[in-house]
Structure 1
Amino acid sequence: MNHNNFTVEHMISMLEERDRIAPINEECNKFNIKNGDIVIDYGCGSGGYTKKISEILGESGKVYAVDIYELAIESVKKKINKYQLTNVETVLAKNINEIKDNVANIIIAIDMFHMVQEKNKFLKELHRLINKDGTLFIGIHHMTSEEVQRIILDSKLWEIQCEIDNCLKCIPIIK
């Protein structure tokens, strides 16, 4: 096993432990997800949010669980099978173009933005995926709120509505 795989496996293990003890239900409340929405869980990790979002969405909704790591996608696939989550589709980030334009009502990107190398390109991709009335929730973990706000505003693609529990709630600027 190479060092990178060990690091990813360790990260998945830590995320699964967090999901066991963290109040995911309360966390998901701030996203205002409704039955029937289409949600992209970008940086889904082990799928803790994905599972809860799937339950909230019901059969008429859909959640795309997106991550850069195969191991994370495999972890979510195990949850899909274990909990029979019929409204979840996994997508490896390098295949994000498989998701149609303007499809998402909500995109959540929690505890991952600090790891994105090309932040402007990432924000542009999220803008492609969100519908005109959609909302982006982007975590400000491991960076200052001011840093994340500056990057988002400099993209000229998003308007920041407010900050809620270490998340910036943003809406797309439609040109």
Structure 2
Amino acid sequence: MSENNFTVERMIAMLEERDRISPINEECDKFNIKGGDIVIDYGCGSGGYTKKISELIGESGKVYAVDIYDLAIESVRKKISKYQLTNVETVLAKNITMIKDNVADKIIAIDMFHMVKETDIFLKELHRLVKKDGTLFISIHHMSSEDVQRKILDSKLWEIKGEIDYCLKCVPIIK
């Protein structure tokens, strides 16, 4: 096993432990997810949020669980099978273009933005994916709120509408 896989496996185990002890239900309340929504859980990790979002959107909605790591995608696939989550589709981040333009009502990017190297490209891709009246929720963990806000505003693609519990609520700028 490579060192990178070992690190990813440890990260998945930590996320699964967090999901067991953390109030995911309360966390998801701030996203105002409704039945029928199409949600992209970008940086889905072990799928803790993915599972809760799947429950909130119901059969008429869809969750795209996106991550850069194969092991994370495998972890989510296990949850899909275990909990029979018929409205969840996994997507490896390098294949993100398979998701149609302007499809997402909400994009949830929790605890991952600090790892993005090319933030302009990342924010442009999220802009492509979100509906004109959609919302991006991006957490400010591991970075200052000012740094995250600057990167988002510098993209000239997003307007920040507020901050809720270490999470910026952003809407797309339509040109």
Pair 1:68 & 2:97 matched: no
Which runs of 5 or more residues in structure 1 are unaligned?
A: none
Percent identity over the alignment is 83
**What is the match of residue 80 of structure 2?**
80
* Separation in 2, partners of 1:37, 1:150: 29
Runs of 4 or more off by more than 2 Å in structure 1?
Answer: none
**2:122 counterpart residue number:** 122
2:49 corresponds to which letter in structure 1? Y
**Residue type matched to 1:37 in 2?**
D
CA distance in 2, matches of 1:86, 1:11: 26
Give, in whole Å, the separation in 2 of the partners of 1:82 and 1:105.
Answer: 26
Amino acid at match of 1:121: I
Q: Measure how far apart 1:139 and its partner are.
A: 0.5
User: Deviation per CA, 1:6-33, whole angstroms, max 9, x where unpaired?
Assistant: 0000000000000000000000000000
Distance in structure 1 (CA, Å) of the matches to 2:137 and 2:91: 19
Residue aligning to 1:58: 58
Question: Tell me, what secondary structure is at the counterpart of 1:151?
Answer: helix
* In structure 1, distance between residues paired with 2:38 and 2:174: 19
How far apart in 2 are the matches of 1:5 and 1:167? 29
* Aligned-residue CA RMSD (Å): 0.2
Distance 1:7 1:125 in 2: 27
2:141 match: 141
For the residue of structure 1 that corresponds to 2:171, the secondary structure is: strand
Q: Which amino acid letter does the alignment assign opposite residue 138 of structure 2?
A: I
Matches within 5 A, 1:17-166: 17-166=17-166
What is the CA distance between 1:116 and its match in structure 2?
0.4
Residue of structure 2 in register with 1:169 after alignment: 169
- TM-score, with length taken from structure 1: 1.00
Deviations 1:129-173 (A, max 9, x none): 000000000000000000000000000000000000000000000
| 1:81 to partner: Cα distance | 0.2
